[in-house]
Structure 1
Amino acid sequence: MTSININKEKFGQLIHKEKPVLVDFWAPWCGYCRRIGTAYEKISEEYSDILIAGKVNIDEEPQ
């Protein structure tokens, strides 16, 4: 499973799940964010049985 896109509503739902939630706050203009994106996806796939990995685009979800 790859990481999921998270908005404010989805975040509220995810934090009440049994698995911990790993969140990557990123932006399309952020070079560092794009560089770690591949590693983050690998973590998301490798640990999908024990955690939920999600990404929040801070330009679309500033709150």
Structure 2
Amino acid sequence: MGIGDKLEHGAEELKGKAKEGVGKATDNEQLEAEGRGDQAKADLKQAGDHAKDAADDVKDALR
């Protein structure tokens, strides 16, 4: 897994947190929900990153 993908997914999560915070501050439920959704998508991508890294570690250990 490339470092660029990991950084991108982390940035997506931060963007989601910012959206959620702005939504809460402005009492905008739709923006708040979008922020939570963005965070959930980023979390899934990060979980995929971790799974790929673990699979690579196993593959390297078997060599």
Q: Taking structure 1 as the reference length, what is the TM-score of the superposition?
A: 0.29
More helix by percentage: 2
Q: Taking structure 2 as the reference length, what is the TM-score of the superposition?
A: 0.29
Tell me which structure has the larger Cα radius of gyration.
2
Larger RCO, structure (CA 8 Å, separation 6 or more): 1
More strand by percentage: 1
